[in-house]
Amino acid sequence: MYSRKLSEEGWTTSIILADRYYGIILLSFIATYDVFFEYFSGNIGWILAVTATGVILSLYLLQIGIRYCSSLMVMMSL
């Protein structure tokens, strides 16, 4: 509902997603700071592939759906 309100106020999809990513990145780093660097260096290829397909693409399509569909339809599709 908040994403829809931001869309109606003129925020673009990319700006809304960027603001969501700041929170996701910060919370993820806080939760994994003790093993982050050794895991990251060994798995950079997989991390980038999953990030591009599983996170960026899916959240972009979700945000487009939020903009053009009703809230009930978005919740049911999730």
End-to-end Cα, the chain, rounded Å:
14
pLDDT at residue 17 above 80?
Answer: no
What share of the chain in percent tops pLDDT 90? 0
pLDDT at residue 60 above 80?
Answer: yes
Mean pLDDT of the chain: 82
Nearest residue to 3 via CA among 69, 78, 77: 69
Band of residue 72 on the pLDDT scale cut at 50, 70, 90: confident
Range of the domain at 42: 2-77
Handedness of CA 15, 16, 20, 21 (dihedral sign): negative
**Structural domain tally of the chain?**
1
The string of pLDDT tens digits covering residues 31-58 is 888 887 777 778 888 888 888 888 788 8
Amino acid letter, 55: V
